[in-house]
Amino acid sequence: MNRSRSNKFRQALIVLALAVVTVALAFLVFDQVNAIAAEQDVAAETAATGNYGPAPKLTAADYPTIAGVNSRVAVWIFAQLHLWFAAFVLAVPIFVFIIEAIGMRTRDKRYDDMAYEFIKVSITAYSLTAVLGGLLLFSLIVFYPQLFTYMARIFKGSMFYYALLFFVESAALYIYYYGWHWLQGGFKKWVHLTIGLVLNAAGTTLMLLANAWLTFMMSPAGVDPAGVFNGDAWAAINNFLWNPINIHRFVANIAYGGSIVGAYAAFKFLTAGTQQERAHYDWMGYNANFIAICALLPLPFAGYYLAAEIYAYSQQMGITLMGGIFAWLFIIQAVLIGTLFLSANYYLWCGMGRSDGARRYTKYIKYLAIVLVGAFLVWFTPHTLVLTNEELKSLGGPYHKILGPLGIMPAKNTAVNVMIIFTALSFMFYRRANKTATVSWVNAGNAIQVALYTAGIANIMFLGIYHGYFTNTVYKVAASIPQVLTTLVVIAASITLDSFIYRRSTDVGPVHWGRIPARAQYALFLLAVAFTWLMGLMGYIRSGIRQHWHIVDIMRDTSPDAFTPTLGYAANVVSVAAILFMAMVIFVFWIAQVSTSKTLPAGYWKEG
Amino acid sequence: MRQFLSVVAFTLITIGCFTAYSNYGIPQIEPAPPPKEEKLDLGSMTMDQFVALGERLFNGKGTCTLCHNSLGRAPLLDTLGDVTPGRLGDARYEGEAGNVEEYLIESLVEPSAFVVEGFGKKGTNDTESPMPDVSGGGISLSEAEILAVVAYLQERGGSEVTVEIPTDVGEGDEDEEEEEELEPREAVSDPKLLVSMFMCDACHMIDGEGGDIGPDLSGIGAARDRAYLRRAILDPNADITEGFEPDQMPEDMAEQMYVSELEILVDFLAENK
């Protein structure tokens, strides 16, 4: 009775505390909104009197130097390292929240344990994110003081609240992590989940604010052609490319977070001492890969939307991106994305060994592999080649007569849609591997599935070939939207149909978690490394298309580093940063492992 | 430990492969350096040289070939002489040009005056051009440069070159170029040295010394804040003190200073109370 009362009292206290926090947050938000509105009023007033000056016209002497330090490379590496960790620590709480909710719904404690282990990994990464953010900030202030001053004048409000939001995020993260075992069961679990929600809301808001600053540099808004700010902070934040970047980063972060956690599980699997540990980390790796694939599938579409919006904002910028000096970068991107898809699929195929029923599907795997490699090669085919005169003569022109069209967008779009559809098919085989359908219409259902995939692939191919070979260049990209829609319809319809076919299905046998070859774990590593490197490369191009502008058309970069580097140079910087990042990630994994180790020093402590 | 080293080696090899491919698997194209103002010696330029200048601008600084090429992103410009009269008489034409030369100048600075069918921004029904105004933004062609591009387009498009080589804008461009070619000087941190260097005291009274063409700046910090003072240097005609004439102070004063010098000068004046 007393315990029950005590529990109720504690619950009441928690509710009270939460209510206070909620009210405080509400006041804070209300205050912020008022403050922003007031600031905007003041700003509008001061703008009307012209209090904001134009963007400064810089000279080489306006860029301080430190002997032996290349300013651009230093800022580049710090920014990239910060971004990788930030992407990771923003993504992990999102799927930890979802996994925790799944655990609450299914009452399967394994989900809860896995979610806890995921968040444990992100705790050390969180500190590193903050440290690297500080390094980035200081290096910007030191090396690009005028740019930072100009940006701070426009974004002073959001920069201040950004710093404050760190407190909210940190508090939520620490309570979420350290309170995990305390806030267990019933009402407490709901409280814990709510804290997870606050953590995610704060983290996502931080990302949105930072995105506003970087997209302002690409598509400035709220300023006149001379860079005079009109005082409308919201206009500067809600610039043309803000939302396309928000969507792309949100999806990419989840895929990236999944891949890094997958690498953690792989590392733990490889170093596991017992079969039980291997089984646990195999299961964890599988789930991490599942998360990465789920986010990876829509990512090309988000990327396509971003590129289309860049093109819509500035045709010049769009062409520089896709058809100008950066065009070759997309060939490197093709290699990396091909690597991602192949390694994710390879891991799934290896994972089918966990189930005795998988033998029924292994004969199809080679065909999936052939199609995926074929699609990868199409994506990999360049449009134009740098040729010598003799090569040009023997080829009969700058493009190969038959393979030439494989270099243009309709072929690329076809290839990526086919890769996505076949990855979905791989996943369907994996899901089916250990199940036997019991519904009477299973054959008809399978026939519909075959028809669905065949019709979908035929439509994608038709659109690609028709627009790739037979229509005018202006209309060549027109195939992309119906192709994407076809892919989405096929995947959604197939998943829905399969869920009906396998309703009340029986298991072929127990799933043997841990029965997977070690080389499959290297596929998870490959996924993480390729993702890291790809993000670095795409970060370079996103920033690089500004070329010799700090802020496009507003503030020119006149530093000695204003030139656009070659792709090899950029790749070298990305590689150095990626090695530093992976070293830190391995350190994070090691710390997470050390935290569970205990040494009992015999005879060291006084007895009794 | 063996597993740990395997993972490290695998990571390094993977990154190494990506790096090697990026360095040796694809051509290393050296992107063009940031554009610089071309020295325009218009006084001694023949029309052929002026047209050649236009061609260089068309292919380089103007970035015209990004879109006006055989890939069909923007209309080809080889038949401008033939098609322009038809465009000027088109019901969709919203400009004010009366001949090919005026039409081309207008197209460069106000591209939406006439949008060729099928080349407008998506969703605008060919009423808005995706082309930027080449006199501003990232391209920023000068008046003389625009005329050179027009001369080149007239010749390329098969019409008579009617553009005349400007004589009044060349001087300015030349001066600008000469300034750019000067070795960068050391930034000055002494405000009094800045005042004499930029000859502020030739027109303004400061601490009892100087001219009276501009307002007296002695004690100006008591009356004006930093933002006002900064604006007064950056844009001298933004606020004109009663009793003084506009357009007296050079508008490019701030452009001759480093940003750090501007701030030192602003601080100096603001503290002069």
What's residue A13's pLDDT?
Answer: 46
Residues of B1-18 as b/e, b for ≥16 C-beta within 10 angstroms? eeeeeebeeebeebbebb
Q: Report the percent of chain A where pLDDT is more than 90.
A: 46
B162 and B212 inside one domain? no
Domain boundaries in chain A?
Answer: 52-314+546-591
What's residue A16's pLDDT?
Answer: 44
In sequence order, what DSSP letters do the residues of A569-590 get, joined into one string? HHHHHHHHHHHHHHHHHHHHHH
What's residue A40's pLDDT?
Answer: 54
Helix %, strand %, coil % for chain B, to 5?
A: 45, 0, 50
All residues of chain A having their beta carbon less than 8 Å from the beta carbon of residue B16 are 575
Determine which of A262-266, A300-304, B102-106 has the lowest per-residue pLDDT on average: A300-304
B210 within domain boundaries: yes
All residues of chain B having their beta carbon less than 8 Å from the beta carbon of residue A481 are none
What's the gap in Å between the CA of A391 and the closest CA on chain B? 15
Please say if the pLDDT value at position A319 is more than 90: no
Contact A386 B27 (CB under 8 A): yes
Helix %, strand %, coil % for chain A, to 5?
A: 75, 0, 20
Q: Which DSSP helix (H) or strand (E) runs through B150?
A: helix B143-156
Please say if the pLDDT value at position A12 is more than 50: no
- Using CA atoms, how far apart are residues A250 and A150, in angstroms rounded to an integer? 28
Please say if the pLDDT value at position A424 is more than 60: yes
| A419 vs B60, higher pLDDT | A419
What's residue A285's pLDDT?
Answer: 92
- Using CA atoms, how far apart are residues B82 and A301, in angstroms rounded to an integer? 43
B165 and B48 inside one domain? yes
B14 within domain boundaries: no
Determine which of A199-213, A495-509, B138-152 has the lowest per-residue pLDDT on average: B138-152
Contact A586 B132 (CB under 8 A): no
What single letter denotes the amino acid at residue B169?
A: V
Contact A548 B34 (CB under 8 A): yes
B120 within domain boundaries: yes
B186 within domain boundaries: no
Q: Which of B8, B13, B26 to mutate to test the interface with A (most CBs of A within 10 A)?
A: B26
Determine which of A60-74, A201-215, A412-426, B232-246 has the lowest per-residue pLDDT on average: B232-246
- Using CA atoms, how far apart are residues A219 and A233, in angstroms rounded to an integer? 14
* Residues 6 or more apart whose Cβ sits within 8 Å of residue A119: A92, A93, A96, A176, A177, A180
- Using CA atoms, how far apart are residues B120 and B135, in angstroms rounded to an integer? 20
CB B145 within 8 A of CB B133: no
CA torsion A68-A71-A76-A78 (nearest 10°) is 70
Q: What is the mean pLDDT of residues A586-593?
A: 80
Contact A328 B26 (CB under 8 A): yes
Determine which of A83-87, A190-194, A306-310, A476-480 has the lowest per-residue pLDDT on average: A476-480
B174 and B257 inside one domain? no
Q: Which of A52, A57, A543 to mutate to test the interface with B (most CBs of B within 10 A)?
A: A57
B67 within domain boundaries: yes
Please say if the pLDDT value at position A3 is more than 60: no
Q: What is the DSSP letter of A53?
A: P
Please say if the pLDDT value at position B171 is more than 50: no
B72 CB within 8 Å of a chain A CB:
yes
Domain stops at, among B181, B204, B227? B181
Instruction: Tell me the residue range of the domain where B104 lies.
Output: 42-181
B154 and B79 inside one domain? yes
What's residue A383's pLDDT?
Answer: 65
What's residue A460's pLDDT?
Answer: 92
B172 and B139 inside one domain? yes
What's residue A529's pLDDT?
Answer: 94
Judged by CB atoms within 8 Å, which residues 46-65 of B form the interface with A?
63
What's residue A20's pLDDT?
Answer: 45
* Residues 6 or more apart whose Cβ sits within 8 Å of residue A574: A80, A533, A536, A537, A540
Phi, psi of A341 (to 5 degrees): -65, -45
Q: What is the mean pLDDT of residues B165-181?
A: 52
Phi, psi of A76 (to 5 degrees): -60, -50
Please say if the pLDDT value at position B263 is more than 90: no
What's residue B184's pLDDT?
Answer: 58
A548 CB within 8 Å of a chain B CB:
yes
CA-wise closest residue to A571 among A76, A205, A211: A76
How big is the A-B interface in CB pairs under 8 Å?
151
Judged by CB atoms within 8 Å, which residues 147-186 of A form the interface with B?
none
Instruction: Give the mean pLDDT of chain A.
Output: 85
Domain stops at, among B181, B208, B227? B181
- Secondary structure class of A292 (helix, strand, coil): helix
Per the DSSP assignment, residues forming a β-bridge with A549 are A556
Domain stops at, among B157, B181, B205? B181
Contact B7 A60 (CB under 8 A): no
B118 and B235 inside one domain? no
- Using CA atoms, how far apart are residues A395 and A601, in angstroms rounded to an integer? 75
CB A48 within 8 A of CB A228: no
Q: What is the mean pLDDT of residues B72-98?
A: 83
Determine which of A257-271, A552-566, B117-131 has the lowest per-residue pLDDT on average: B117-131
Determine which of A361-370, A478-487, B231-240 has the lowest per-residue pLDDT on average: B231-240
What's residue B139's pLDDT?
Answer: 76
State the CATH number of the domain containing residue B171: 1.10.760
B54 and B161 inside one domain? yes
B37 within domain boundaries: no
Q: What is the pLDDT of residues A375-405, one digit of tens each?
A: 988 887 776 655 566 666 676 666 666 777 7
A225 CB within 8 Å of a chain B CB:
yes
Determine which of A482-486, A584-588, A604-608, B91-95 has the lowest per-residue pLDDT on average: A604-608
What's residue B91's pLDDT?
Answer: 85
CB A266 within 8 A of CB A521: yes
Number of domains in chain B: 2
B158 and B50 inside one domain? yes
Q: What is the 3-state secondary structure (H, E, C) of A54-116?
A: CCCCCCHHHCCCCCCCCHHHHHHHHHHHHHHHHHHHHHHHHHHHHHHHHHHHHCCHHHHHHHH
What's the gap in Å between the CA of B13 and the closest CA on chain A? 10
Q: Residue A520 burial by CB count (10 A; 0-12/13-18/19+): exposed, middle or buried?
A: buried
B20 within domain boundaries: no
* Strands, E assignment, A386-489: 435-436
Considering only the beta carbons, identify the residue of B15, B22, B234 that sits closest to A529: B15
- Using CA atoms, how far apart are residues A379 and A407, in angstroms rounded to an integer? 7
CA-wise closest residue to A229 among A160, A165, A150, A169: A150
* Residues 6 or more apart whose Cβ sits within 8 Å of residue B165: B42, B45, B47, B50, B147
A219 CB within 8 Å of a chain B CB:
no
| B-chain residue closest to A329, CA distance | B22
Q: What is the mean pLDDT of residues B167-183?
A: 47
- Using CA atoms, how far apart are residues A148 and A71, in angstroms rounded to an integer? 14
CB B67 within 8 A of CB B119: no
| A465 vs A206, higher pLDDT | A206
Contact A553 B136 (CB under 8 A): yes
Q: What is the mean pLDDT of residues B165-177?
A: 54
What's residue A607's pLDDT?
Answer: 76
Q: What is the pLDDT of residues A506-553, one digit of tens each?
A: 888 888 999 999 999 999 999 999 999 999 999 999 998 888 899 998
| A-chain residue closest to B17, CA distance | A575
Determine which of A159-168, A324-333, A431-440, A455-464 has the lowest per-residue pLDDT on average: A324-333
Which CA distances in Å does B15 have to A30, A336, B75, B180? 48, 11, 43, 42
A353 CB within 8 Å of a chain B CB:
no
Q: Residue A275 burial by CB count (10 A; 0-12/13-18/19+): exposed, middle or buried?
A: exposed
- Using CA atoms, how far apart are residues B223 and B229, in angstroms rounded to an integer? 10
Tokens of A318: 């769009």
Considering only the beta carbons, identify the residue of B21, B118, B137 that sits closest to A335: B21
B121 and B46 inside one domain? yes
| A515 vs A602, higher pLDDT | A515
Considering only the beta carbons, identify the residue of A60, A473, A526 that sits closest to B71: A473
Q: What is the pTM of this model?
A: 0.74
A48 CB within 8 Å of a chain B CB:
no
Tokens of B116: 């060729």
B8 within domain boundaries: no
State the CATH number of the domain containing residue B266: 1.10.760.10
B72 and B128 inside one domain? yes
Q: What is the DSSP letter of A549?
A: E
